[in-house]
Chain A
């Protein structure tokens, strides 16, 4: 396998590979999954901070969830994320069938829907800032913004990665490298959808109650 030793192509590596059939795609996918689990610990920390600080006592007299969240906009964002995951799934099915156009169409659709999500979220934040609500105003607001913005930042990096993969699949086709990157991006993108479901329920809908 051309990429198994990451470029350090010594004789020892070659022998090792010939013997054990180093499976680079499986290794890199599991490695990236372990990264995602540690990334999930960051979200666990942010959810814990939010759970502790989202008590009106920590709002210092300022706004609480009820004023911060817009459930219909959040529902639109949920719809965009889930549809984007579905579109990425279409790309994965096309990959299985060796259909390069299908992968590009799926990636493009997932990118556009992900951008819709980010656009709606940026609009929500802009409205809060316009109303004079900033993260530094209270512990409550810091915890709220830190959690939602960290997820938004992950989504932005996912979109950047998707744009890069669009170009790489378009120019290089399905090589070992582009295939494992598409698989890792799949894990990353689906993982962000899981986090978003938790944000939607425990931040947005909790704010409606």
Chain B
């Protein structure tokens, strides 16, 4: 074919791989997940514990998205990032609104009086 001289290993998607990025992502994820396990097992019924754990999860996911899935604005990765940014609100809406809707049903309907 026309481009038979090319080498697939020279492709920017292949050249993205970085041992340092993998090592950093691994260490951050392991450390933060260990901290999360410790917090969960030693929590003294603090109301904000789940909030702290959610923050740790968000942090690890962000690190994975940037270091492992290479979401950035470089010319080869731009559309990967754009598609993620466009899809992300859908995840927030699907999970967030469903939970908010059902968890506030009690207060916003008259079921409360019927159930108790």
- Chain A: residues with CB nearer than 8 A to chain B? 1-2, 4, 14, 17-18, 21, 23, 25-26, 29-30, 33-34, 37, 40-41, 44-45, 47-49, 51-52, 55, 71, 75, 78-79, 82-83, 85-86, 89-90, 92-93, 95-96, 98, 174-176, 179-180, 183, 187, 190-191, 193-194, 197-198, 200-202, 205-206, 208-209
> Which residues of B lie under 8 Å from residue A85 when comparing CB positions?
22, 25-26, 68
The interface residues of chain B, by DSSP majority, are classed as: helix
21 contacting pairs across A/B (C-beta < 8 A):
A17-B1, A30-B79, A30-B80, A33-B83, A37-B83, A41-B91, A47-B95, A55-B103, A86-B22, A89-B19, A90-B22, A92-B17, A93-B18, A95-B17, A174-B8, A190-B68, A194-B61, A194-B65, A198-B61, A208-B40, A208-B43
Contact with A along B80-116 (1 / 0, CB 8 A): 1001100100110011001100110000000000000
Contacting pair A176 B26 (CB below 8 A): no
How far apart are B92's CB and chain A's nearest CB, in angstroms? 9
Q: Taking A29-B13, A52-B99, A86-B22 as given, write out 9 further A-B residue pairs in contact, using a Cβ cutoff of 8 Å, ordered by the A residue number.
A: A2-B4, A17-B1, A25-B8, A51-B99, A93-B17, A96-B14, A200-B36, A201-B54, A205-B36
Contacting pair A44 B90 (CB below 8 A): yes
